[in-house]
Amino acid sequence: MFDRFFRRSPPSFKLQINSPALSFTASANDSLLQTALNHGLAFPHNCRVGGCGECKCKLVSGQVKELTDKSYLLSADELRQNYILACQSLPRSDVCIEVALRAGVTQHPLVTTRARILSVAPLTHDVVHLRLAPQAPLRYSAGQYAAFAIPDEVAGASARGRSYSFASSPRDEAPSSELDFYIRKVPGGIFTEWLFAQAAPGQMLDLSGPYGDFGLRPGHGPIVCIAGGSGLAPIKAMLEQAIADKQAQRALTLLFGARSQRDLYALDAIDEIRRNWSGRFEFIPILSDEPADSAWPGRRGLIPTNLPAILGTHLADHQAYLCGPPPMIDACVDVLTHHGLARDQIFFDKFLDSSHAACTRQAESVLI
Amino acid sequence: MSKYLKGWLMPGLSVLMMWGVAHGGWWMWAPWAFVLTVFLSADIFMPRDVSAPPRYQNAFLLNLPLYTILPLLTVLNFMVLWMFSSGDMLGFGAWVKDHVGVDLFAARERTTHWGMWAGCIFSVGLMNAVGGTVTGHELTHRTGKPFDLFMGRWMLAFTCDTSFAIEHVYGHHVRVATPADPATARRGESFYQFTVRSTIMSYVHAYQLEKARLAKLGKSVWNPFASPFLRGNIENLSLFVVAYFMAGWAGVGFWALLAFVGKQYLEITNYFEHYGLVRVPGEPVQPRHSWNSNHWGSTNVLYSLARHSHHHAQGEAPYWTLNAYPNAPMLPAGYLGMLLIALVPPLFKYLMTPALNDWDERHASAAERRIAQQDSRDSGMKGLKIAQAKLA
């Protein structure tokens, strides 16, 4: 009974948006907007401080605590219909709201299927390109990821699945007959050890997907994409998708962090993107462990330390998309926000340390 | 622990201010001169504070100094009204003499020249502005917390400016850097033109916002239970009533002067915080839409108000989470320096012209450059390069 007094984390409720299919766990400390964004939903929003009304939605049931007086902003009609501002509402019970989600975002059905290995081709000394043919049709959006079940013959009782981002944009409107993944060898990792040593064309894997909501957001300003190692996969897919959708007019800076020259890969694919990108395109590889005496003419060091010089005074005007190891993402997010980039313009797909599971969420602002 | 200290600079300043004013006579100028010297020195000689906000565990320790400002201001203002009056209202003078050991009766005797009272008004008005308005500003942004709003609004009453709590949050933050915002100074506008427009139109705008809001709810703006606008005005007036009971009509005049001077400090700050900046109405407010200052004194004493670019880009963020934004448009001097410079329009324009040129060139978007060009041509200012530029 003393739980209430000693509870360390705030209570959580259920947030349902439009239909039971979109139900999420919502912390009492996060605004409804923040919860929706954390779960990768394209919830309409702009100012996040209750000033613009972009995030208004209809409260169908449940109770919220409102942080600003919405009646300055909403019309008399909207007030009568119980509209609220999602960015200024904290849940105080299970909440059900209705909102017109951004057009063009498709919700793909979750599919679990077996897939046949078409090829396992080395890209560098520790990254392979895995091609799969799924047996059931699988639709996804560029930026999303799939979860692999480890084959029975190698899985221990406690082995967990692995998640990898789709490395190319969906081929066309039809469900993809072929899926690409870039997979880095994790020393001692059960799945990747098996993949690098024993996997062969024709073998079968179980996978499910798509998951996540990493992907290009609408906008007109410049884009900076930051990829670390095999984090290039969802970014490459996302940019190919933008070209296919004729959305490639925005200025783009693509940063690719690797240890040394031998760790760079998919340079042909990047060059293909460059040739098809209609806006300004800049590709900057940055090497962290390149021998000091090598002939490498490009940038060296870590991406975060190079960022301000590369993006210059317009840094804060960018939308940033990051994928890679957590320390790189954390350091880059720190640098970007320190130079004035709003946190809601930063999107990342972070590898989790232990399982390498991809986990997409938006940068949360950390208040105390 | 030291990271918690910066919130206490302001309460410390209030106590010093009280101590100075309590001496009476020409000493009444001392707090003003002291603040000017220390503040300006900190801005000029200390390195720029671009430190990242530290991680705090204890929000209470950061909020407590904000709440202490209201009782401190109350005592300070009561004390100067007491000194201005005759007699010993509430036995205050006797109590202070017995318990604090400060002889306010002697201080009152010493204050014989109107110039001494002018010092009092400049000193206490400054404190009511940097203490009352700056802290009130921080607190009235917390629209979800009734206690903070209550404290903040009373702090604003010391400059007769409770409508700021409405206009600033629901007006200025939405319309900043557009012509619809009374508190954004236009290119070429001097402080003296600006303060008249801003003071009147901010008040009118607060009334309009509140009236429109209450109309939607079917309530009247004159209903004190529904209308924070009316309640705020009652709070403003109540302090005049206190002044009347303490010192008669002379007290009312004295209070009016004090509130006026305090309000002018705020309006000067309003004046330079967004001077000449433009934004396409409806587009998100970015760090470039405010003049930022990382001068040490300005940012540390004023509850990070000088980190204005972040404040406007994220109005709900409490003061201790604000970032320095070293690449944002920068004021040529700290807040107190700008405050003095703004009083001399030719000097202000001389310093801000290169800053505006830099803004047009490096910060503005293409659409903003077009607006800036028109504004610059209309401003009558010389030296704005964009007025003659060929825009793409």
Q: Give the domain A3-98 fold.
A: Ubiquitin-like (UB roll) (3.10.20)
Residue B392 forms part of a structural domain: no
CB B66 within 8 A of CB B340: no
pLDDT number for residue A1: 44
Rounded Cα gap, residues A159 and A92, in angstroms: 38
DSSP SS3 for A97: strand
Helix axes B114-127, B30-45, angle to 10 degrees: 50
Q: Residue A352: its pLDDT value, please?
A: 46
Q: Taking CB atoms and an 8 Å cutoff, what residues of chain A touch B143?
A: 50, 67-69
Residue A152: the pLDDT is: 67
What is the model's pLDDT at position A363? 30
Distance from CA of A297 to the nearest CA of B (A): 28
Q: How confident is the model at residue A50 (pLDDT cuts 50, 70, 90)?
A: confident
User: H or E element: which one contains A69?
Assistant: none
Peptide bond into A210 cis (omega under 30): yes
Evaluated on CA atoms A41, A44, A48, A49, the torsion sign reads negative
Is pLDDT of B123 > 50? yes
Spell out which residues of chain B touch residue A338, defining contact as CB-CB under 8 Å. Answer: 52, 323-326
Q: Is the pLDDT of residue A33 over 60?
A: yes
Residue-wise pLDDT tens digits, A337-346? 888 888 878 8
Residue A7 CB-density burial (10 A; 0-12 exposed, 13-18 middle, 19+ buried):
exposed
Residue A151 vs residue B94, higher pLDDT: B94
CATH of domain A111-211: 2.40.30.10
pLDDT at residue B255 above 60?
yes
- The fold of the A223-362 domain, in CATH, is Rossmann fold (3.40.50)
Checking if the pLDDT of B216 tops 60, the result is yes
> pLDDT confidence of A3, banded at 50, 70, 90?
very low
Look at residue B1 in the predicted model and tell me its pLDDT: 57
Predicted local confidence at residue A156, as pLDDT: 56
State which amino acid sits at residue A229.
G
Amino acid identity for residue B112 in this structure: T
Return phi, psi of residue B19, to 5°.
-60, -40
Sign (positive/negative) of CA torsion A314, A317, A323, A326? positive
Chain B CB contacts of A65 below 8 Å? 144
Question: What is the mean predicted confidence (pLDDT) over B114-138?
Answer: 94
Average pLDDT, chain A: 82
Question: DSSP secondary-structure letter at B245?
Answer: H
Size of interface A-B (CB pairs under 8 A): 94
Do A340 and B213 make contact, defined as CB atoms within 8 angstroms? no
How is chain A split into domains, by residue range? 3-98, 111-211, 223-362
Residue of higher predicted confidence among B65 and A152: B65
Of residues B59, B169, B217, nearest to A71 (C-beta) = B217
Q: Place A194 in a pLDDT band, splitting at 50, 70 and 90.
A: confident
ipTM above 0.85, yes or no: no
Q: How many CB atoms lie within 10 A of CB A202?
A: 8
**Structural domains counted in chain B:** 1
- Contact list in A for residue B286 (CB cut-off 8 A) is 316-317, 340, 342
Pick from A124, A129, A318, A316: nearest CA to A219: A318
Q: Which two tokens stand for residue A95?
A: 């909440």
Between A41 and B121, name the one with better pLDDT. Answer: B121
pLDDT given for residue A159 in this prediction = 52
Nearest CB to B57 within list A76, A308, A368: A368
When CB atoms are compared, the residue of A47, A68, A367 closest to B143 is: A68
Q: Alpha-carbon distance A262 to B34, whole Å? A: 63
A76 closest CB neighbour out of B170, B216, B285? B216
User: Phi first, then psi: what are they for A226, rounded to 5°?
Assistant: -125, 115
Query: Which of A46, A79, A88 comes nearest B284 by C-beta?
Result: A46
How confident is the model over A322-365, as pLDDT tens digits? Answer: 998 888 888 998 899 888 888 878 888 766 433 333 333 333 22
Where in the sequence is the domain holding B177, given as residue range(s)? Answer: 2-387
Compare A19 and B351 and report the one with higher pLDDT: B351
Judging contacts by C-beta atoms under 8 Å, the chain B residues touching residue A71 are: 213-214, 216-217
Confidence of residue A321 (pLDDT cuts 50, 70, 90): very high
* Neighbouring residues of B253: CB distance < 8 A, sequence distance ≥ 6: none
The C-alpha atoms of residue B40 and residue B27 are separated, in whole angstroms, by 20
Q: Distance (Å) from the C-alpha of residue B57 to the closest C-alpha of chain A?
A: 6
Higher pLDDT, B285 or B245: B245
Q: Which amino acid is at B56?
A: Y
Distance to chain A for B279, nearest Cα, Å:
14
> What pLDDT is attached to residue B120?
94
Note the pLDDT of residue B391: 79
Among the residue ranges A160-164, B19-23, B26-30, B168-172, the one predicted with the least confidence is A160-164
Q: CB distance B316–A48 less than 8 Å?
A: yes
Give pLDDT, residue A351. 62
Q: State percent of chain A over pLDDT 90.
A: 35
Please report, for residues A164, A190, B112, the alpha-carbon distance to residue A181 in angstroms, rounded to integers and kept in the order given.
7, 17, 86
Compare all CA atoms of chain A with the CA of B309 and give the residue at the minimum distance. A340
Mean pLDDT lowest among A167-181, A220-234, B234-248, B376-390: A167-181
Q: Which residue has the higher pLDDT, A323 or A3?
A: A323
Average pLDDT of chain B? 92
The confidence band for B331, taking pLDDT boundaries of 50, 70 and 90, is very high
